[in-house]
Structure 1
Amino acid sequence: MTYKKLIYPIGIFILLLSACGNHTDRDDKDTTSYIPQAPCYDDSSMWYIRENNGVKQAADVFYIVSTWEKDWTTTDGSICHYADVYNPEHRADMDKEISRIADYMGDAGDFYSPYYRHITIEVWATQNEDTINNRFRTAFDDVRRAFDNFLQRRSDTDRPFILAGFSQGGKAVVELLKTMPADVARKLVAAYVLGYKVTPADTLATENIRPARGATDTGVTICYNSVSDVRYIKPVVAAPCAMCINPVNWHTDATPAILQDTITVTVSPEHHVLVLNGYNGSEYHPILGFLNVGDFHSCEPWLYQESLHENILARVNAYYAKKRT
């Protein structure tokens, strides 16, 4: 979960009221909490979209943003544990991350990222998986509906696609893979789960989750979390985890890789995390005392972005090459 760390230019979006998202609700676990109006993904204001018509072998990107909002209070005193997609400030917060991701993932093809009612940082700070999963159901309902809309609204519905998400967005990627029909999964170039875990139970729940073994295999899941030492693994995002791949050298064993000339990145095959030496992550402040404390959670999409950019394009090329054979 990043939380209001990034500062980046954003576009101006017009808020449109949607006929298919005009209801509110109460949290079924807490009668004092409030759930905002659901987004309607036929409404273009519920999307960040960047078109890229200059790619011959294109793959569209569906990206799911991480956590940006804190708990907030409505005018009648109800507590809300979710982002409000009809609040321009909340959409602008999400844009800070999404626009930067689009800068390097969008080279693969058209880039789509939905605004959704993501759960707040305080929900994650409970570090209680039951609480997180119960409240995440609302967030994932949005993501699932947005993904269905994405599959229909693309200019070429037969074109392959890439799934990617950071932190809470990575959790959503895992859940999408578990519910994805086989005919849709065949068009998947790769799924990037950045800064979140893929549990052993997740891998048993679907054949759509297969760990990446190298730099160009397709239809696979890329997963990693970064720490300074394995004692700083945070279970709420990183354990138990069934897979990890080094995004610098694309090895799954303990072969080290050098990043930016000074950072050594090594997979711990036992713990399925990346261990970094020569990096202190000082640009990322602790989040409510439980993240960015010995772990490097907030760095995941940014520290490796050059490697991720190159890898996405390589996997897209590999997908098309395989299709031709």
Structure 2
Amino acid sequence: MVKCQYYTSNVIGGFMLIFEHCQFLIDSPIKLDMFFNNSRYFKQLFHFHPGIEMIFVHEGSGQLILEQSIYEVKPGTLIFLKPYQPHYLQMQISPGKPYIRSLIKYETSYFSENLKAFPQLHEFHEYICSDTSTAQVQYVPEWKRFEQFLQENYERLQRHPYRNQMEGNALFLVTILHYLYPLWNTGNVSKQRRQAAAPTVAKMIRWIDENYEQDFQLEALAQAVHISPNYASHLFRQTTGKTIMEFLTDRRLKQACILLKTTSGSVQEIGEKSGWVNFNYFCSIFKKRMGMTPKQYRHH
């Protein structure tokens, strides 16, 4: 099972961690975790992480909040998550309803370098990594065939491992892209976003994403989606399992983490750009959630 480290010291509601750090991507830039029953270990976290994450669902159902949309998750769903992209996967797990998935995590630049020998696939990979219009949640047609394809190729890799493990993993990932490429291109894979059961909540998430830097007013959010403030709070919590303020805090923390790692601005400036006017409160909530101060995080 792929293991990562989570930076937080406080979990709210049992499923709120903000940053997943995958140290292994430095030494092992492609990690395979195939056909794994994740029912016991699965955590519902609104989080983001470096590297790309590709998930194929074999068994299980639920929903995914990805940026500003809500998608249905079911067997045959393929999820493509970009680096540092916030997402929140909720799965309905019970003794008779396991969550079984295949997971591939990889470092973008490393794999992109491997793809240069295949210009068409390289261009396709660049497209799904960078184009904002690409569908990141795919419902694979005749998905049992794709599942069989994964199993046969993965078993072959295990029976005849490469001397260099990363070479084997890279070739395995190339074969997956080669399989998916015509599906993405011809439109045989559904590219319709499914804001399942909650178009209003999707609009609320979009509003938060566009206004997290501003002083938050529940009345303004409710007015933007044409419902009452009380109903807005109830609907958001009922649909996502999180309060609006918890979600807003996660979004601001995500922005602060990115700015701390990618800019040279002062901690106070970054706090303000991320939506916190009160510098002391920003430092307090950051340390409470991330388990370290903003300055420590920057140099970690």
Structure 1 and Structure 2 fold alike (TM over 0.5): no
Identify, as 1 or 2, the structure richer in helix: 2
User: Which has the larger Rg?
Assistant: 2
Which TM-score applies when normalising by structure 1?
0.27
Which TM-score applies when normalising by structure 2?
0.28
Which structure ranks higher in relative contact order (CA pairs < 8 Å, sequence separation ≥ 6)?
2
